[in-house]
Every structure is written in structure tokens, then in C-alpha cells.
Amino acid sequence: MLNGGTKAESPLAALSPEQMTQYAEQYAYKKATNTTAKTISLAISAGVFIGLAFIFYITVTTGSMAVGWGINRLFGGLAFSLGLVLLVVCGGELFTSSVLSIIPRASGQLNTRSMIANWSKVYLGNFIGALLLVGVVSGAKLYQLDHGQWGLNAMSIAQHKLEHSFIQAVLLGLLCNLLVCLAVWMTFSAKTSAAKAGLVILPVAMFVSTGFEHVVANMFMVPLGIAIKSWAEPAFWAQIGVAENAFEHLTWANFARHNLLPVTIGNILGGALVVGLGYWSVYSRKPASKQAANNLSVLSNQSYGPVGEPTMQNLKNLTVADVMISADNALSPDMTIASACDALLAQELSGAVVVNEKNELVGFISELEILRKLWLEDYSKPSTTNVANIMQKDIMTVAPNHNLLKLAEYMSVDVTQVYPVSDSGMLLSSTHQPLEERLRNSSVYRPKIFPVVDNGKLVGVVTRHQVLKALRPALGAPVKLNQAAEIEAIAESSVA
């Protein structure tokens, strides 16, 4: 997945709604393609963060009913926003925002299997993190705070979550993740940690104070209620003046049936469908083949104006589909290294994509991998090693509908070097060097060839050469070689 805009912008400038959608696609793709270990580790952290937020909520709302129901819930909601603030500043993988990976799925960057696998890993990690915190909180006996009222409040909150009907729980989950994903979406417009943190507070405070259902929060809250009911000493029940059977509905079976399942469905509907696909359909979804046909027509009938004045009006509308070439030179992972080398040499290629029998992209092999293998073999005749053993497997891809100018920027400019910012958007350093000088001093290590993937299938490749050829009209009229030589001679004579 690519990142970057059509031109470099100030690190403090807010993004437009369209740019936010493009950033959301990049953000979701990057998270969905993390390693399993990284994904689960970050998901465990997120489960802990959300659990900590609920601890804050319980503390704030315990014994404060005198201030009125609404104000009490508002204070609790503001306290709970700590969880999402920790996530956007410190980083983490939260299931309710991971469902936004449906955007790169819709654009063809991810296949359904990869998307569901990512959701499953994040869901598991969140649950592990939440349960670990439940164990710590129970062991610390926080339920004894305020003469046991803290624990009574926690169990009351947990049991209330099991009293919804299935449809009610689904709809409360939908409303919750509508707000959570909108909160996360707004952070895409901000460039500083303070701004990101500020943007998430009110949406989170609203969903919590109104009683919407968040599946990861419930992974902590309901098990905490079950733990208190199961492990609290008889003295605790005597202290709060409530019988243990008052919370008989707090069971794992009721949790799974009446809350976990319907709320998960609702969260997916609210985040993936309403927010994710909603914005994607407005800002990123491309018209069918008509626009592509128009762009191809322009490419085949390019016109030029004076030097430096592009006359191809729809240059900014060009997509990868307009310039990509077929992947007829794709190799098989079962080929021997010798066969792959012969194929590259015969076609004078520096590298080629590798696909399986289903035309799914599985890797990329270049001259570099083959040369390294030869070095390892001390330049003797290689064994029966095949392409699958040495090919690159972590490959950058691009979708057919990806904007060509964005691809051109990604191939040639590292915006993070020109405008150095952290993952959370903080400006790391500043310089008085002109932009052109900063650009010249930056280095870019990006592929020259990008596989084009649509719905999990390889549909072509786009090369730096093809991109340059497509954008050539921006330089004006073609210059004949002899004319160029004459211009150079005149320039040299004038200097002399």
C-alpha cells in the first residue's frame, strides 16, 4: 500500500475529507499487513488500555449519583476517553477500528481471507489483554474501594450489559462503533498528538455516557463482574448488603450469547459498513470502466503546449489502470533459480512477479536475489533450489484505481524525510533549508516495479518507466535529440 499525497504539505496542515479517506486506506492496510506477533502484541496493549479506561469510569461514577444521572454519566464518559487517547498517542490494535481494513479490501489491496485473519488476531489479542487486566485488578482487590461500592458498581454495570435483547445489543454496538470509528477517522486530519487526543474525547464520551456497547470494553467489564462475583469474600457481600444471587446472570454463557456475539456484529456494521465503506464509496470508489476508457483515450492522444505548461487536463485523474502493463512475464514459485534467471535475461528484466496457480501474487524475484544465491553457492552450479526459497515475500502492491500522481510521488519522494514527523504526527525536527534542497538531500529506496492487485488477483504491473512516460506531457512539447544538443551548445557558449 502506498502513502503520500499529490504534493508535499506542511506537517501542521489538516487533511481534507478526501485526503482523510486516502490516509484511512493506507492506515488500515499498514495495520492489516503487520506480522502476527506485532499485531497480537499491539492488540493485547489495546485491550489493557480500554480496560484501564473502564477502571477510570467505574471510579468516577461510584458514589456520585447525587450529581444527577446525566452529569454522572458525562463525567464517566470523559474518564473513559482515556482509553482511546492512549491508543492514538501510544499505538495499539483495537478490533473496533481494525474493521476499517474493509477499505483496502474494497479497493483490492487485501483479500477477504487476509482481512478476516487480521480481525481475528486483533480480537484475540484484545481479549487476552482485557482478561490479563481483569486478573490484576481482581488480585489487587479494587472491588473493595469505597467500602465495596466500587465492586458493586462494577457488577451492576456488567449485569446490565447482559439484559439487552439480541437486536438491541446489535444496534447499540452499531451506534458505538459509528462514533469510535468517526473519532479515529477525525484523527487522520490532525498532525499532532494533542490534536488527535482532543478529537477523540467527545465521541467517546458520548457513546459511553449514552450506554452504547463496545465489544473490547465489554471483554474487560463483564469478565470483571464475573470475577468479583466468583472471587469476592463473604465479608464483601456483607459490607455491600447485597446477596450474591442478585448477580446470578453474570455467567460466561450469558456473556457470550447476550453481549459478546451481538455487540461484535453491531461493531462491525457500524465501523466497517457505515463509516468505512460509507466514506470509501464517496471519496475513493471509482466509476466503472467509462472513466478509465476516457483516460486511456487521453493517453493515446496526448497534446502538448509550451514547455512547462501541461495541457492534459485530466492528468490528476489518471490511475494505475491507465498505464499498467500485463504481467505476462510472471514466474512460478516452483521454477528453479536457473530457469528464473534465464527468463529474466531473455526478456532483459531486472525482476519479475511470482504468482501461484490461482494467479495470486506470492512474491517477487530480482537479479539481486539470484546474485546473492550465487554468492552463497560460491558461484558453483546451484542445487535444485526453487524460486519460492529466495523470492521476496513482503511486497508493496498497488490497486488499479490508485491515483497515478500519488504513485509517482511515492516512487520518487520520501515525504517523511522532507517533512520529518513521528507516527503520531509530531514534528521531529525543523530546518531552514529550502524545500528543493531538502528534497535533493533526501534518499528514496522504493521499488521500480509495483505489482497491481485487484481482489487478491494479479492484474498487471506498473513500472517507474511507465509512470514517467504517462507524466511526460507535464514537461511540455517533445524535444528532438538534435534540438536538445543545439540548446545545450548554446547554453555552454553563453557561459563561456
Residue reference for cell 504481467 = 327
pLDDT for 151 equals 96
Does 168 have pLDDT greater than 60? Answer: yes
pLDDT for 314 equals 61
Categorize the per-residue pLDDT at 6 as very low, low, confident or very high, splitting at 50, 70 and 90: very low
Tens of pLDDT, residue by residue over 239-292, are 999 998 999 999 999 999 999 999 999 999 999 999 999 999 888 765 544 444
The DSSP element (H or E) to which 250 belongs, if any, is none
What mean pLDDT do residues 463-476 have?
81
Determine which of 70-84, 165-179, 280-294, 414-428 has the lowest per-residue pLDDT on average: 414-428
- For residues 433 and 439, give the distance between their C-alpha atoms in angstroms, rounded to a whole number: 10
pLDDT for 240 equals 94
Rounded to 10°, the helix 261-268/215-231 angle is 160
Here the cell at position 345 is 535475461
Tens of pLDDT, residue by residue over 417-445, are 665 554 444 444 445 566 667 677 777 77
pLDDT for 306 equals 41
CA distances from 85 to 89, 201, 218, 417 (A): 6, 8, 18, 27
What mean pLDDT do residues 455-481 have?
79
CA distances from 87 to 44, 58, 60, 93, 161 (A): 12, 20, 21, 8, 24
- Considering the chain, what percentage of its residues have pLDDT values greater than 90? 43
Categorize the per-residue pLDDT at 300 as very low, low, confident or very high, splitting at 50, 70 and 90: very low
Determine which of 337-341, 426-430, 479-483 has the lowest per-residue pLDDT on average: 426-430
Here the cell at position 159 is 449485569
Does 238 have pLDDT greater than 60? Answer: yes
What mean pLDDT do residues 208-213 have?
96
Q: Which domains does the chain have, with CATH numbers?
A: 17-283 (1.20.1080.10)
Contact 463, 325 (CB under 8 A): yes
Does 140 have pLDDT greater than 60? Answer: yes
- For residues 28 and 112, give the distance between their C-alpha atoms in angstroms, rounded to a whole number: 14
pLDDT for 478 equals 67
pLDDT for 241 equals 93
Amino acid letter, residue 117? A
- For residues 255 and 157, give the distance between their C-alpha atoms in angstroms, rounded to a whole number: 13
Among candidate residues 316, 319, 401, 326, the one with its CA nearest the CA of residue 106 = 401
Does 10 have pLDDT greater than 80? Answer: no
Among candidate residues 315, 111, 418, the one with its CA nearest the CA of residue 410 = 418
Determine which of 40-54, 249-263, 443-457 has the lowest per-residue pLDDT on average: 443-457
Q: How far is CA 479 from the centre of its chain?
A: 43
Here the cell at position 205 is 464520551
Q: What is the mean pLDDT of the chain?
A: 83
